A and B are shown apart, each in its own frame.
Chain A
Amino acid sequence: MPNGRARIAVTAGLWVVFAAAPLAVDDWQLTQLAQLMTYGIFAMSLAFIWGQIGLLCFGQAIFFGIGGYAMAVVTKGMLPGLPESTALGLVAAVVLPGLAALVLGQFLFRGRGLSGAYFAIVTLSASVIAERAASHWTFIGGFNGLLNVPPLRVGWGGVAAELVDPLPTYYVMLGAAAAVFAGLLWLDRSPLGTVFRGIRDNDERTAYFGYDVAAYKTFGFALSGAVAGLAGALFVTQFGFVSPALIGFPLSTEVLIWVALGGKEVLLAAFMGAIVVRSVEGILSETLGYYWLLALGVLFVLSVVLLPRGLLGWLLRLPMPARLARRAEDGLPVEVVNTSRGRPTGRR
């Protein structure tokens, strides 16, 4: 494993490469890369809730989809009395999925809450419910979704421009991704992040220390939902189209694979997982056809069995600040090995 300084250099280098990418690629590739940024933000939202707090969410696309739909409905001016404003759309696309996650989290985590496999299966079912509901709600276009979602509008007052050129769009998306990365990383290094890691490693022990585990989980889930919603909103402004496919089970599991392959405990590894898997898919899915998903499935199984920390985590894991580094050497979390093979909800 490269030492801490080398890993910081790799992380910084990657962002520099992204910032310089427009020099090396053509307009079409830049458009693709701008879309990949939103998938990357989506992947970081899952890495946050799964890698930091330990909640395996099989329905992350619910929040991505709500964000996308909220953005589309507001910017298309479908709500009477509300202006067709990008800013308002973004606010709705962050607040609504955040609220949805807050309500779902409040419901699932309170009291003797659900965790582990139960949480996974319940979120899996919830994503199927969301997809079914979206495809039968005619206001949001039903099965066909909503077409002609306008691009982002930037500017103040009378001077407003639509973001259609690839270059400015790309930099806005890159900026959003970098901001989400920085924000979540800051949270990870804050005292709150320490509590989150405590919950991930052993939520019972964390509760004995006096922390309201359910409240922390709910807050983390809501935050993750809000970030996923932002990703969905940014995605639809580029894609111009929102459909039930963005809210359902297939996308929820796709993001899971990106994050698992990249490395769930490291934000940038999850981000790169999304970027790399999607780019390779773009290149290989034409030549490999159906074999591509087969290869991805096999690779995923291999990674889970042999490298449960993902393929990139070792390279991109940033060292912990000195304040936290002594207990967890070199940024590696202390593994809590649970030797009992009890049931997930515990029958104690």
Chain B
Amino acid sequence: MEQFVIIGLDAANFMLALLLVSLGLVIVFGLMNVINMAHGEFFLLGAYTVVVVQDAGGSFWVAFFAAPLVLAAVGLLVEEIVIRHVYHRFIDTILATWGVSLAIKQLVIVVFGPASQQVVGPFPDPVDILGTVYPSYRLFIMAVSVVVAAGTFLLFYRTKLGLAARGVIANRLMASSLGIDTRRMDRATFAFGAALAGFAGAVMAPLMSVDPQMGVGFLIPAFLSILVGGAGTLLGPLLGTALIAGSNTVVASLWTQVVAQIVVFSLAIVVIRAFPQGLTGRRG
């Protein structure tokens, strides 16, 4: 029983972190039709924000609030310098953002070295929950992720801004004819997506080995999540991350992490092939 609770909690933990990364990806993809291969590096930069702040003697909480702001700025910069020049060349956005990802990762290696960094998270003491002992920081991450994800959904489904954004997703030309400034929307979207990834990186940093390769480890599951769930709506990643993170955690607990990756990635490819619009998408 205890085993099941721990697996369930681990799965929920992984899913929520993945959800934060995937939401940024799916918003950028849906709104701007940009496949952002540098999204994993935004996650990475979020984690290194914590490293920088803690090296400077700051507390984790400073980084907690700084990471999304830093990454929003990085997102604006990347959008301005690179992305806006390749909007109309869909495949080239993949290549250009891949180059950006390579450059950011290498910049991190130049500045911090290739070794992994130590980050100290708050709440070191575990707590009792559902008859088992579980790290309290993980519970905190889950709570925060739920709040942030819910906030994102509220923003998109309950505000005027969100309505405009969903309008652009549904029909860009129509939205711009109705007076929505799609250019401004693009910049805001990209910065927002980057901020979400950076925030996820910051909160996950104390749980992971913070090294220059950590971004890719989240990028691929996040992509598979939005494709499995469906990239046309924000509900897609919710379902996709639940499936990917859930199956990954269960298989990893039965065998090893490597087997889990092989099995889950393969299944995801089959699902994507069978449902090219994603599980929540309209059947073609």
| A126→B269 contact, CB < 8 A | yes
Q: Which residues from chain A contact B266 at a C-beta distance below 8 Å?
A: 129
| B224→A125 contact, CB < 8 A | yes
Interface hits, B194-250 → A, CB 8 Å:
216, 220, 223-224, 227, 231-232
Interface hits, A119-175 → B, CB 8 Å:
120-122, 124-126, 128-129, 132-133, 135-136
| B106→A341 contact, CB < 8 A | no
Check if B100 is an interface residue, CB within 8 A of chain A: yes
In the bound complex, CA of A257 to CA of B82 (Å): 17
Check if B35 is an interface residue, CB within 8 A of chain A: yes
A136-B106 CB under 8 A given contacts A122-B272, A305-B82: no
Interface hits, B83-106 → A, CB 8 Å:
85-86, 88-92, 94-96, 98-103, 105-106
A124-B273 CB under 8 A given contacts A290-B109, A294-B103, A305-B96: no
Check if A347 is an interface residue, CB within 8 A of chain B: yes
Q: Which residues from chain A contact B86 at a C-beta distance below 8 Å?
A: 304-305
Interface segment among A30-38, A106-114, A180-188, A229-237: the answer is A106-114
Q: Which of B99, B105, B277, B284 is A301 in contact with, Cβ under 8 Å?
A: B99
Max chain B CB contacts within 10 Å: which of A260, A296, A343? A343
Q: Which of B82, B92, B106, B268 is A290 in contact with, Cβ under 8 Å?
A: B106
The distance from the CB of B92 to the nearest CB of chain A, in whole angstroms, is 5
| B102→A112 contact, CB < 8 A | no
Max chain B CB contacts within 10 Å: which of A108, A249, A301? A301
Interface segment among B47-55, B148-156, B257-265: the answer is B257-265
Max chain A CB contacts within 10 Å: which of B89, B98, B100, B282? B98
Check if A117 is an interface residue, CB within 8 A of chain B: yes
In the bound complex, CA of A217 to CA of B58 (Å): 55
Q: Which of B224, B232, B261 is A343 in contact with, Cβ under 8 Å?
A: B232
Q: Which residues from chain A contact B106 at a C-beta distance below 8 Å?
A: 290-291, 293-294, 297
Check if B276 is an interface residue, CB within 8 A of chain A: yes
Check if A308 is an interface residue, CB within 8 A of chain B: yes
Check if A116 is an interface residue, CB within 8 A of chain B: yes
A128-B94 CB under 8 A given contacts A298-B99, A305-B86: no
| A129→B227 contact, CB < 8 A | no
Q: Which residues from chain A contact B262 at a C-beta distance below 8 Å?
A: 129, 132-133
| B277→A345 contact, CB < 8 A | yes
In the bound complex, CA of A205 to CA of B128 (Å): 63
| B35→A117 contact, CB < 8 A | yes
Check if A80 is an interface residue, CB within 8 A of chain B: no
Check if B107 is an interface residue, CB within 8 A of chain A: yes
Check if B254 is an interface residue, CB within 8 A of chain A: no
The distance from the CB of A281 to the nearest CB of chain B, in whole angstroms, is 13
| A291→B94 contact, CB < 8 A | no
| A116→B110 contact, CB < 8 A | no
| A114→B273 contact, CB < 8 A | yes
Q: Which residues from chain B contact A260 at a C-beta distance below 8 Å?
A: 95
- The 0/1 profile, CB within 8 Å of B marked 1, for residues 295-339 of chain A is 011101100110010000000000000000000000000000000
Interface hits, A218-240 → B, CB 8 Å:
none
In the bound complex, CA of A275 to CA of B268 (Å): 36
| B91→A56 contact, CB < 8 A | yes
| A136→B276 contact, CB < 8 A | no
**Residues of chain A having any CB pair with chain B under 8 Å:** 56, 107-108, 112, 114, 116-118, 120-122, 124-126, 128-129, 132-133, 135-136, 249, 253, 256-257, 260, 290-291, 293-294, 296-298, 300-301, 304-305, 308, 341, 343-345, 347
**Residues of chain B having any CB pair with chain A under 8 Å:** 33, 35, 82, 85-86, 88-92, 94-96, 98-103, 105-107, 109-110, 114, 172, 216, 220, 223-224, 227, 231-232, 258-259, 261-262, 265-266, 268-269, 272-273, 276-277, 282, 284
- What 9 A-B pairs have minimum CB-CB distances, sorted nearest first? A297-B103, A297-B102, A301-B99, A300-B99, A294-B106, A293-B106, A304-B96, A304-B95, A117-B35
